[in-house]
Amino acid sequence: MPTKQKSKNTKYIFVVGGVMSGVGKGVTASSIGTILQARGFTVTAMKVDPYINVDAGTMNPTEHGEVFVLEDGRETDQDMGNYERFLNTTLDGMNYMTTGHVYQEVIEKERNLEYKGKCVQVVPHIPLEVIRRIKRAAKKADADVVVVEIGGTVGEYENILFIEAIRMLKLMQPKDVTTVMVSYVPIPKKVGEMKTKPTQHAVRTLNSTGVHPDFIVARSDYALDLKRKEKIALFCNISKDHVISAPDIESIYEVPVNFENAHLSDFLLAQLSLKPKKPSDLSAWKALAKRAVQSHAEVNIAVVGKYFDTGDFMLSDAYISVLEAIKCSAYKVGVKPIIHWVSSKQFTEKVLKKDVVKFDGILVPGGFGETGIEGKIHVIEYARKNKVPYFGLCYGMQLMVVEYARHVLKLADAHTVEINPNTTNPVIDIMPEQKKLMEAGNYGGTMRLGAYPALLKNGTLARKLYGKPEIQERHRHRYEVNPEYIAQLEAHGLVFSGKSPDGVLMEIAELPVAEHPFFLGTQFHPEFTARPLFPHPLFTGFVQEVKKFKEGRKTKKR
Ligand code: GLN
């Protein structure tokens, strides 16, 4: 008789937020995963987004931050990017869920009679579906531990059913579930003292749902002193060792090292009755954290985009993976990147030299729609003519082609049909299958999404940087370089160094290095696969040229 394989006794770590959002739940969840990986465990991570949206693809990035695209094409939350970067793993759609997704599935099952005539109720059926999804992701990853981050903060209506899922799972498997609360500990300017009361209230709110945090990660400007630690322990009813100080630090990549300095993995393993598999080995992270905070020559890189303003504030959350990809390559190259978030809206007429002359490199990231588009094209023209390293990602590549067509091919009205459907020179056109979807008003999750292969042309910059002839990269777009203009563009010097295997879709455009040190754009998003321990070759190539440009500037001055 075949022996039945014993299923894994997976452990579940839930990460919830207290007091307010935006204090680093994602980095905490990722870092917890990292320190457990370093103890020899197989870890996977999940994000729960309490929105009704079925995925993040239809949300405006100024509201929600970056839409992170997974290899399988799911459009998810930016925290998924953190998990992939910290855990150095490739996640899939199973690792992400929203309220919309959960309800959609429960309703579908009900319609299919899968509840066998039962009255389907918010409780228990919604939390049970949440638990089913968590277990499904654990099984797929064959994980010893799943870290599940619940979006939002405790006390909100929105995430209450996900917290109910924690309560129910803990009731079913008391030894396999633990909860970590990431809480904010403010130091009001006028008071000048670190206040723990908001955290105490947050714990009480969580308690009222039947869940108690076993750990509190206290986020603050400074490290917790012993007195505050003891206060949180006493009033929040947890052991002092389980109160983890998490002060602001220079680089997020120091967080796993700091957690381990507080012996967090030992405490988590004990809490979950897990025997350590090996002593902690964070040497690669320690080396990275060291490189991240070392002093290096500064380089100025402009990221020209439009998803920055929210009310009176500027946020760069919409481009978080781009930022991390630049940083990770900069640590490798040995420069300190100073990122200038430049709103393309400011370049409506012409690029003023005084505004751009300080940049050692220019990057135009992905985007949609008309706002600031002429500004981006001006900046690209400036970068091309002045041999400033230029890196275009998706929209940044499409606009690079538009700029080239307008100013080198002299097709004055060249455009993308996304903006001007009536142009006589549609150098960027809608993909035929996308046209049908648009006509049917079918927008959600329908772009060309996820990983696709591309073949690289010998002797090009892209081929040299990748060091291999075939690549796989993640996409998110509806438009493409119009095949009717390829011969013309190539005849005028633009090189398509990456193409889909059937040769139809242009995946990378570049100028030969003899003409420009780095003028390259990708139809895909390389930022999604850049990892701190394995920086992306195209970003590294870009940053290397940025460094050279800066050095060249210095020698010119002398
Ligand atoms: N708007 C462009 C398209 O849909 C580019 C998309 C992007 O930059 N992700 O093709």
pLDDT in tens, 444-453: 888 999 999 9
- pLDDT, residue 185, reads 93
pTM: 0.93
Which of 53-67, 87-101, 102-116, 170-184 is predicted with the least confidence, judged by mean pLDDT? Answer: 53-67
Q: What is the CATH number of the domain that holds 427?
A: 3.40.50.880
Is residue 247 located within the same domain as residue 303? no
Is residue 309 located within the same domain as residue 274? no
Is residue 25 located within the same domain as residue 121? yes
Residue 4 inside a domain? The answer is no
Which of 63-72, 233-242, 460-469 is predicted with the least confidence, judged by mean pLDDT? Answer: 63-72
Give the mean model confidence (pLDDT) for residues 452-479.
97
Is residue 58 located within the same domain as residue 164? yes
Residue 309's pLDDT band (boundaries 50, 70, 90)? low
pLDDT in tens, 326-344: 999 999 999 999 999 888 7
Select from 59, 321, 368, 523 the residue to mutate for testing ligand 1; criterion: most ligand atoms less than 8 Å from CB. 368
Select from 478, 482, 525, 528 the residue to mutate for testing ligand 1; criterion: most ligand atoms less than 8 Å from CB. 478
Domain boundary among 236, 266, 288: 288
Is residue 228 located within the same domain as residue 317? no
Task: Find the 368 Cα to ligand 1 centroid distance in Å.
Answer: 6
Residue 378 inside a domain? The answer is yes
Is residue 143 located within the same domain as residue 248? yes
Residue 2 inside a domain? The answer is no
Which of 51-65, 370-384, 452-466 is predicted with the least confidence, judged by mean pLDDT? Answer: 51-65
Is residue 304 located within the same domain as residue 273? no
Residue 504's pLDDT band (boundaries 50, 70, 90)? very high
Asked if the model's pLDDT at residue 2 lies above 60, the reply is no
Q: Give the helix, strand, coil percentages of the chain, each rounded to 5.
A: 40, 20, 35
**Residue 369 Cα: closest atom of ligand 1:** 1
Residue 437's pLDDT band (boundaries 50, 70, 90)? confident
Provide residues with CB under 6 Å of ligand 1.
366-368, 394-395, 398, 418, 476-479
- CA-nearest residue, atom 8 of ligand 1: 366
Task: Find the 523 Cα to ligand 1 centroid distance in Å.
Answer: 8
Domain boundary among 258, 288, 318: 288
Residue 131 inside a domain? The answer is yes
- pLDDT, residue 438, reads 85
Is residue 274 located within the same domain as residue 138? yes
State how far the Cα of 451 lies from the Cα of 432, in Å rounded to an integer: 19
Task: Find the 95 Cα to ligand 1 centroid distance in Å.
Answer: 25
State how far the Cα of 291 lies from the Cα of 286, in Å rounded to an integer: 9
- Any idea which residues carry the catalytic annotation? 394, 525, 527
- pLDDT, residue 22, reads 81
Q: What are phi and psi of 474, to 5 degrees?
A: -95, 140
Asked if the model's pLDDT at residue 310 lies above 80, the reply is no
What mean pLDDT is reported for the chain?
92
- Domain span at residue 283 reads 11-288
* 485 contacts: CB under 8 Å, gap ≥ 6: 405, 425, 427
- pLDDT, residue 35, reads 97
Give the mean model confidence (pLDDT) for residues 23-35.
95
State how far the Cα of 434 lies from the Cα of 414, in Å rounded to an integer: 21
pLDDT in tens, 221-280: 999 999 999 999 999 999 999 999 999 998 899 999 999 999 999 999 999 999 999 999
- pLDDT, residue 557, reads 59
**Where are the extended beta strands (E) located within 461-544?**
470-477, 479-481, 495-499, 506-510, 519-522
**Residue 476 Cα: closest atom of ligand 1:** 9
State how far the Cα of 490 lies from the Cα of 511, in Å rounded to an integer: 10
Residue type, 287: A
* 144 contacts: CB under 8 Å, gap ≥ 6: 8, 10, 11, 36, 41, 42, 43, 274
Is residue 316 located within the same domain as residue 249? no
Q: Which helix (H) or strand (E) holds 304?
A: strand 297-305
| Count of residues in the chain | 558
Residue 244 inside a domain? The answer is yes
Give the mean model confidence (pLDDT) for residues 451-460.
98
Q: How many domains does the chain have?
A: 2
Asked if the model's pLDDT at residue 54 lies above 90, the reply is no
- pLDDT, residue 349, reads 63
* CB of 391 closer than 8 Å to CB of 361: yes
Task: Find the 547 Cα to ligand 1 centroid distance in Å.
Answer: 29
Q: What is the CATH number of the domain that holds 74?
A: 3.40.50.300
Asked if the model's pLDDT at residue 56 lies above 90, the reply is no
* CB of 56 closer than 8 Å to CB of 76: yes
**Range list of H helices, 262-372:** 264-271, 283-293, 320-333, 353-356
Is residue 283 located within the same domain as residue 378? no
Residue 6 inside a domain? The answer is no
Tokens read off for 176: 């396999």
Give the mean model confidence (pLDDT) for residues 291-304.
90
Matching residue, tokens 């500064």: 298
Residue 3's pLDDT band (boundaries 50, 70, 90)? low
Omega of the bond prior to 124 within 30 degrees of 0, cis?
A: yes
Domain boundary among 237, 257, 288: 288
- CA-nearest residue, atom 9 of ligand 1: 366
Tokens read off for 36: 């457990």
- pLDDT, residue 314, reads 60
- pLDDT, residue 311, reads 64
Is residue 158 located within the same domain as residue 181? yes
Q: How many CB atoms lie within 10 A of CB 478?
A: 17
Asked if the model's pLDDT at residue 535 lies above 90, the reply is yes
pLDDT in tens, 412-425: 999 999 999 999 99
DSSP class of residue 24 equals S
State how far the Cα of 74 lies from the Cα of 49, in Å rounded to an integer: 14
Q: What are phi and psi of 417, to 5 degrees?
A: -70, -10
State how far the Cα of 36 lies from the Cα of 286, in Å rounded to an integer: 15
- pLDDT, residue 386, reads 94
Asked if the model's pLDDT at residue 4 lies above 70, the reply is no
